[in-house]
Structure 1
Amino acid sequence: MLEKFFATCPRGLEPLLVEDLIAAGAKETTAVPGGAHFVADWRACYTSNLHSRIATRILWRVAHGRYLKEDDIYKLALDTPWPKWFGASGTIRVDVTAVKSPLKSLEFITLRIKDAVCDRFRADTGKRPSVDTREPDVRVHGFLTGNECTLYIDTSGAPLYQRGLRQKTVEAPLKENLAAGILRLSGWTPGTPLLDPMCGSGTFLVEAAQIALNIAPGAGGRAFGFQRLRNFDLALWKALLDDAQEAEKPAADAQIFGSDVSPVAVRAALANLDRAGLLPAVTLGSGDILNLHAPAPSGVMVANPPYGERLSEQEELAAFYPSLGSALKRNFAGWNCYLLTADLRMPKLMRLAPSKKTPLFNGAIECRLFEFKMVAGSNRDA
């Protein structure tokens, strides 16, 4: 039995998301900004949740219709057989997003959909689910275009970038699925030396180590939304989980290196790698990127430098970038370096020409992933 789904992801990573969905068994995949529509059976839905490193959520489409006013959306939600899919004893949360909708208040639409779900439960069962906005059992999503409304049930629960591994964070940590996407865009493959010289709490390091050891991102013991639906197939889910765990490799040195100038960040990365059982795969140190030497003759560097939102920070970065460019030329000949930033001045101030620039979004912040190929033999000491 095939169902219609929509997977969300960080904007800029849609082609990689489609690759993940096809690998999981999805059919008729169509990428759109911020995600991809697809058709699949429940095995492929479970597999996408378990194995996709790029997806944020996998949403199951349960209703679709045209609307002119708020009451049309209420009726669409009321006509949807919610009690068929989950019980009144659970809690719900409703979220609504819109693109070019003429309706004035998304908060009011959210309330109308919630009322319709509860009214349908009352009519069918005499009971209604309660609302829990923090940790609901079931998440309902409404998506509005100019004249159409689509209703979804979230099969993921908490966003999929929450792998259940992160213990400590530092300021503005990178989302795990964006980090995984950057690793894919860099062309890095396990066995190639990888360095994050500004590792923060270790997001790149954890993602890379999981990839190197073939650990499914959803196998860390987290819960999923589909487990709370009436049609949940426990035997199928256990089989998929067992297959994923059997494919894992034992933790061992994976030529993955990380460091940071902040001792607090290094301690956070250490704690996160330790909790995930990935410490043997990663070599962690501390130090300033300007004084760091490459850990191998060639490899891939990934980094998410600070963006500088305040004027004083931007002035500091303007002074830092020329030194960074010199350090890369001096110490990283033979390496391909990938820097994610919202500061588009970076390449010019580093005095380096990027060989590629990929638009990506870190949350709502528009960024560029700059590729700098540090060709051996062409570097000169400053």
Structure 2
Amino acid sequence: MIAKTFFGFEEILEKELKALGAQKVQKGNRMVSFYGDKGFMYKANLCLRTALKILKPISSKKVKNEKDFYNFIQSIRWNNYLDTEDTFAIYATVNSTIFKHSQFISLKAKDAIVDKFRKETGRRPNVDTEYPDLTINIHIQQDICTVSLDSSGGSLHHRGYRSATNIAPINEVLAAGLLLLSGWDGQSNFIDPMCGSGTILVEAAMIACNIPANLNRKEFAFEKWLDWDMDLFEKIEEACLNKSRDFQYSILGMDKAPSAIRKAKKNIENANLGDFIKIKEGNFFDTQKETEGPLHMVFNPPYGERLQQIDIEEFYTSIGDTLKQNYPGTNAWFITSNLEGLKFVGLRPSRKIKVFNGKLESRLVKYEMYAGSKKAKYQK
């Protein structure tokens, strides 16, 4: 099988898959391949935090031309996956000098499937791009064509808990990946001082409590498959929930916008995580560390389309000053696509990781704020 992910998250996803029990795990570009049975496919969709989709390859072959491709698609035993009363959709990605247009490949594959059913049964399944019973993924790399079934359906970042958002909300898979890149494991207090609609907070709580990432998701594509096994899925879901753990620390979210606070509270309520997350209205630049011991901070400050009304130099200077003066004993991480703005923080990052927020090339940066001087830390 293949788990798709964002650039820079391949290693994290590899670790997640191995921890879940996947076999023959191998990293690729924005994807990780692995082996597992039907039950593991259910578990991967339910539990993986940094996967966008789980694809199940069903056939692969070298194709030289259009006729080759058509015959290959027809050779697949589609009645193992589709009935004539079912609907299907096809999505193709093409990186080839032989085949140039993904839309053409999708249409040609549709013709091959429909023609096969007509010939064998006199009837045909229909295409439905919005709510198909089966989603087919076709990938052509030069002359190698791989046909897969999309077991997830909509992207796995649609967790199911987020009903209210602000401008340019952070993607849930991106939020989970940033948290895991930051080393968040639930073993300290946590704060998101610019929490917006609360996505980072919810993902942080689910990681801390080992709650399956997609527990609140309304539907997976495999639930419409001919071999759907509800009993097996429910057993896997129960087993995963039994591995959840207690969380002994605090998770706090802040935002200066009352509308953001309302949305964050609603999303936290939707995720049933109100017992673990506290929310309060406040401007980060007027705050200070409230808890004893180490503090883990991850946030997504305004940038791109959310930064139109902000003085960049003043804003990033204030981030640096607030961290330096008010947050000793804190590992502070944040993501930004404004690489110029980072110059004004006035602190040297100890880590700088290249990631993408949508199409925006960004950096996840870490600032280690010591209790006392850095020199004193190393003299202990």
Q: Normalization by structure 1: what TM-score?
A: 0.91
C-alpha distance in 2 between matches for 1:6 and 1:186: 25
**For 2:63, which of 51, 63, 67 is the aligned residue?**
67
Shift in Å, 1:120: 2.4
2:74 aligns to what? 78
Alignment of 1:133 onto 2:144: no
Shift in Å, 1:253: 7.2
Q: Residues 236-270 of structure 1: CA distance to partner in whole angstroms, max 9, x if unpaired?
A: 212111222334458x8741010112211111100
Distance 1:229 1:174, change over 3 A: same
The corresponding residue for 1:218 is 214
The size of the alignment, in residue pairs, is: 373
Identify the residue that residue 341 of structure 1 maps to in structure 2.
Answer: 336
Q: Which amino acid aligns with 2:153?
A: G
Q: Which letter maps to 1:43?
A: G
SS of the equivalent of 2:88 reads: strand
Q: CA deviation at 1:271?
A: 0.4
Corresponding residue of 2:179: 183
Partner SS, residue 279 of structure 1: coil
Match 1:372 to one of 361, 367, 376: 367
Which residue number corresponds to residue 319 of structure 2?
Answer: 324
Deviation at 1:93, TM superposition (A): 1.5
Alpha-carbon distance, 1:162 to partner: 1.2
Q: Secondary structure at the match of 1:160?
A: coil
Alignment-derived partner of residue 261 in structure 1: 256
| 1:308–1:317 contact (8 Å) kept in structure 2 | no
The aligned counterpart of 2:377 is none
Question: Structure 1 residues 80-89 or 276-285, which shifts more?
Answer: 80-89
Following superposition, the deviation at residue 181 of structure 1 comes to 1.2
Give the CA deviation at 1:313: 3.1
Structure 1 residue 7: Cα displacement: 0.7
2:17 aligned with 1:21: yes
Q: 1:135 to 1:254 in 2, by over 3 A?
A: farther
What CA distance in whole angstroms lies between the structure 2 residues aligned with 1:256 and 1:68?
56
1:113 aligns with 2:114: no
Find the aligned partners of 1:315 and 1:202 in 2 and give their Cα distance: 21
2:277 pairs with one of 276, 282, 296: 282
Q: How far, CA to CA, are the matches of 1:179 and 1:152 in structure 2?
A: 27
Q: Secondary structure at the match of 2:58?
A: strand
Of the structure 1 ranges 171-180 and 100-109, higher mean CA displacement relative to structure 2 is found in 100-109
> Do 1:337 and 1:374's aligned partners in 2 also have CA atoms closer than 8 Å?
yes
Distance 1:53 1:245 in 2: 15
Identity %: 35
SS in 2 for 1:97: strand
Q: 1:41 to 1:324 in 2, by over 3 A?
A: same
TM-score by length of 2: 0.92
Query: Cα distance 1:100–1:174, how it changes in 2: closer, same or farther (>3 A)?
Result: farther
**How far off is 1:125 after superposition?**
3.0
Partners of 2:94 and 2:101 within 8 A in 1: no
Q: CA deviation at 1:293?
A: 1.5
Deviation at 1:229, TM superposition (A): 1.6
Q: Does 275-284 or 96-105 show the bigger shift?
A: 96-105
Say if 1:46 and 1:362 are closer, same or farther in 2 by CA, change over 3 A.
Answer: same
CA distance in 1, matches of 2:317, 2:175: 25
Q: Aligned to 2:318, what secondary structure does the other structure show?
A: helix
Match of 1:359 among 350, 354, 369: 354
* 3-state SS, counterpart of residue 228 of structure 2: coil
5 Å-filtered alignment, 1:147-162, equals: 147-162=143-158
Name the aligned partner's letter for residue 161 of structure 1: H
**Is 1:350 the equivalent of 2:345?**
yes
> Where does residue 233 of structure 1 map in the other structure?
229
Give the 3-state SS of the residue equivalent to 1:280 in structure 2. Answer: coil
Cα distance in 2 for partners of 1:10, 1:210 equals: 20
- Deviation per CA, 1:259-302: give whole Å up to 9, x if none: 11221111110000112211121110112221122232431111
Residue aligning to 2:94: 98
Runs of 5+ in structure 1 lacking a partner? none
CA contact (8 A) 1:7 1:59 kept: yes
CA contact (8 A) 2:168 2:305 kept: no
Conserved? CA contact 1:7–1:35, under 8 Å: yes
Compute the displacement of 1:309 (Å): 5.0
C-alpha change, 1:264 and 1:100, in structure 2 (3 Å) is farther
User: Residue 165 of structure 1 contacts residue 275 of structure 1 at CA under 8 Å; is this kept in 2?
Assistant: yes
1:167 to 163, 166, 182: 163
CA distance in 2, matches of 1:35, 1:65: 20
RMSD: 2.1
- 1:33 deviates by 1.3
Q: Distance in 2 between matches of 1:100 and 1:373?
A: 46
Gaps of 5+ in 2: 375-380
Does the 8 Å contact 2:133/2:225 carry over to 1? no
CA distance in 2, matches of 1:101, 1:334: 55
